[in-house]
Amino acid sequence: MKASPSHITQLKPKEPPEVMIHIEDLYKSFGENHVLNGFNMKLFRGENLVVMGKSGSGKSVMIKCLVGLMKPDKGRIFVMGREIGTLDREALDILRSDIGFLFQGSALYDSMTVRENLEFPMRRHSEKLGEITDTLPLVLEALESVGLAHTVDLMPEELSGGMKRRVALARTLILRPKIILYDEPTSGLDPITAKEIIELMRSIQEKYGTSSLIITHDVDCARVISERMILLVDGVNYAEGTYEELVLSKDPKVEAFFKK
């Protein structure tokens, strides 16, 4: 008779990290302009992933494919297990409510107060939040996360550039996104304000456990915020690793990113 293994403590295998976004072999061309040529990427739960690529390398095209605004020529994209290309408008809209965007312009509505700006996505995605009789506590909580609760009744024109970006981030947080996409979050900001935004991105990730995909040219931003980086070169994920790994690379195409 075989010895019973019951006395052996079973070591639980470590669960693999949950994949929040999986881009598989993505191709996109515009005529002879072959922008993405088999790009692959995984964003894991809770991580800050930076994608760097020089101007015109296809970062925005990749993001547009990711959120279903552009159709790739080939390849598949899964967001939290759902394949973007197979979703109808309504399903895509619901999925998008789990994705927060912070884009370059930050685009607050100038004719609305800060409070109204934050209430806007709540109305648009009321199905997600359920019926809310008093929006103010949620608005204030989101604004507190970015240190700007006192601006609730101000107009965007009364805010500085850095404050506008923080309010835009608060507006993103109001829907409790699981993923945040940041497109050049520090562009156009002075170095001190840029640093504040990066700190904020970190604290938001800690507070809400969000997973972040950050598109940036800013090497300093990548150094501070990234846990992992992907370099987009010639339409593919040319190099991947931590900042510390990539900065030591002797590959000329990788070195070019880190030359000041």
Ligand X SMILES: Nc1ncnc2c1ncn2[C@@H]1O[C@H](COP(=O)(O)OP(=O)(O)OP(=O)(O)O)[C@@H](O)[C@H]1O
Site for ligand X, rule CB under 6 A: 30, 33, 35, 53, 55-61
Closest approach, Cβ 87 to ligand X, in A, equals: 21
CA distances from 148 to 125, 162, 194, 200, 241 (A): 23, 11, 16, 12, 35
The residues, any chain, with a CB within 8 Å of residue 190's CB and separated by 6 or more, are none
Closest approach, Cβ 64 to ligand X, in A, equals: 8
Closer to ligand X at the Cβ: 71 or 207? 71
Q: CA dihedral defined by 73, 78, 83, 89, rounded to 10 degrees?
A: -90
Closest approach, Cβ 54 to ligand X, in A, equals: 7
Closest approach, Cβ 183 to ligand X, in A, equals: 8
Closer to ligand X at the Cβ: 58 or 177? 58
Closest approach, Cβ 105 to ligand X, in A, equals: 12
Cβ atoms of 173 and 102 within 8 Å: the answer is no
3-state helix, strand, coil in the chain (%, to 5): 40, 25, 35
The residues, any chain, with a CB within 8 Å of residue 184's CB and separated by 6 or more, are 103, 104, 215, 216, 217, 218
Question: What is the secondary structure of 19-69 as a DSSP string?
Answer: EEEEEEEEEEEETTEEEEEEEEEEEETT-EEEEE--TTSSHHHHHHHHTTS
Closer to ligand X at the Cβ: 143 or 214? 214
Structure-token pair, residue 61: 């095209």
Closer to ligand X at the Cβ: 28 or 96? 28
Closest approach, Cβ 59 to ligand X, in A, equals: 4
Closer to ligand X at the Cβ: 54 or 195? 54
Closer to ligand X at the Cβ: 36 or 170? 36
